[in-house]
Amino acid sequence: MNYTRADLINALCAEWDYLCHDDFDPENDLTTEEYREELQDYTLEQLVEETSTGDGYTLDEWMENWG
């Protein structure tokens, strides 16, 4: 894998911001900053899992979209 923890966290936050942009619920959704803070406690393996990538959608493809 060619991605650092910081790369994955930045990309996950970019995706989070995009997904919450039009449908943000302040009572139930984390802000992007809160999500970033939560991700700081994740292991590298957990960060990769959070991307929901696999055989059909690779981590490289996901990083092209969000990284």
Q: How far is CA 36 from CA 2, 19, 55, 64, 67, in A?
A: 21, 14, 26, 20, 14
Whether the per-residue pLDDT at 1 is higher than 80: the answer is: no
Find out whether 39 and 47 touch, Cβ atoms under 8 Å. Answer: yes
* Amino acid letter, residue 20: C
Whether the per-residue pLDDT at 62 is higher than 90: the answer is: yes
Q: What is the average per-residue pLDDT within 21-44?
A: 89
pLDDT digits (tens, 9 = 90+) for 4-28: 999 999 999 999 999 888 787 778 8
